[in-house]
Amino acid sequence: MTVEILTFGCRLNTYESEVMRGLSANRADTVVVNTCAVTAEAERQARQAIRKLARERPGARIVVTGCAVQIDPAAWAELPNVHRVLGNDDKLRPENWLPDATSAVSDIMAARETAAHLVTEFTTRARAFVQVQQGCDHRCTFCIIPFGRGPNRSVPIGAIAQQVRMLVAGGYQEIVLTGVDVASYGADLPGAPSLGQMIRRLLLAVPELPRLRLSSIDPAAIDVDLWRLIAEQPRLMPHLHLSLQAGSDLILKRMRRRHSRAEAMAVVRRARDLRPGIAIGADLIAGFPTETEALFEDTLRFVQEAALPYLHVFPYSERPGTPAARMPAVAKPVRRARAAALRAAGASEAGRFFARQIGRQIWLLTEANQSGHSEHFAPVRLARPIEANRLVRATVTGSTGDLLLAEVA
């Protein structure tokens, strides 16, 4: 029997949900809710899902875990039909999924550790995620995640290679390396290998892996070896997603980010010089406290000047206990309007990026319903059905503005 798992938030949560799926097999009528604390909306959605489960399936045993639980376990334990709460480390311990296991709320803030958890299957995805690190040593003023995930801890290279090798043997064509602050990988390991060094060794250790991709990365921490791989390694996909957050120097300073506007633009330009045609995306926060219209325009212009086709935009969300929550707030309707303007700018850049792909040949990883993603992570719709989880050569025949149309070559 497979336990039902509802996952909110990041790719790391997706990976950890699959770990829990394996650990919690044969637990009858159990639903696991893996929460996120990045925004108030993410927490609201998880609470809403729990209340709905309690109404519609009163006999179900609800287990709640994730970052929101790690930060405020007592509040989640009080929700209806919640049988257990598990912290981020507890949820990955096999003993906590035994039939007679119990977990007290007070145990959640115990010492944290990071171990390699082998996952051989992702139930609904063509690509597989592999955790390479956990936690974050930085303290951006808006972010609560370090309190939920703890300090930076890296998975040893050998364990990463073992996980990737097993997934490739299981038929996965593409692996995404994920974590909380991926660019900080290795600082806590013997010899302090950088992220680029780890990736280079991983690709050598698993030559049968066709495609490797990175999750969001801090533009202030791209190391020399990673730049070399971006330039020279075809198995590392031409797609970079930056944890940018803003395009205004003053806002970046108030966020306590480690890059300036000019430094972020230099990263974009260097990536394009080294890997012509690379697709670049960014995470952005709209309506950060003290953001004036002029400061917002700085971020909007950055999107346009850098021609970023893939944006993840979030209206600023107060996180109690963070320095930003004490700063003068921007009105919520203004935040939403600015987020919409950034998304519209990103959609325009995506349309231009997709238009440039027409007539070109791409390597496509096929998914369900005649869909897939190119090496640039562009969404693609095929003209005819084809078996999922295959790498195929296709010709781009058109674009709808938000995806590519293609025919298998």
Domain with 14 in it: what CATH number? Answer: 3.40.50.12160
| Same domain? 65 vs 79 | yes
Task: Tell me if 85 sits within 8 A of 108, measured CB to CB.
Answer: yes
118 in a structural domain: no
| Same domain? 17 vs 94 | yes
| Same domain? 211 vs 337 | yes
Give the model confidence (pLDDT) of 275-289 as tens digits.
999 999 999 999 999
Cα separation of 102 and 83, whole Å? 9
The predicted pLDDT at position 236 comes to 98
Query: Which structural domain, as residue segments, surrounds residue 387?
Result: 361-408
| Same domain? 16 vs 161 | no
Give the model confidence (pLDDT) of 185-226 as tens digits.
999 999 999 999 999 999 999 999 999 999 999 999 999 999
pLDDT(152) > 70:
yes
pLDDT(124) > 70:
no
pLDDT(100) > 80:
no
The predicted pLDDT at position 60 comes to 86
β-pair partners for 4: 31
The predicted pLDDT at position 114 comes to 53
Tokens of 282: 């960014």
The predicted pLDDT at position 259 comes to 96
| Same domain? 310 vs 390 | no
Which residue, 24, 34, 30, 147, is CA-closest to 93? Answer: 24
Average per-residue pLDDT in the chain? 90
The SS3 assignment for 240 reads strand
114 in a structural domain: no
Domain-terminating residue out of 107, 142, 162? 107
| Same domain? 318 vs 386 | no
Longest Cα–Cα distance of the chain, Å, equals 60
pLDDT(107) > 60:
no
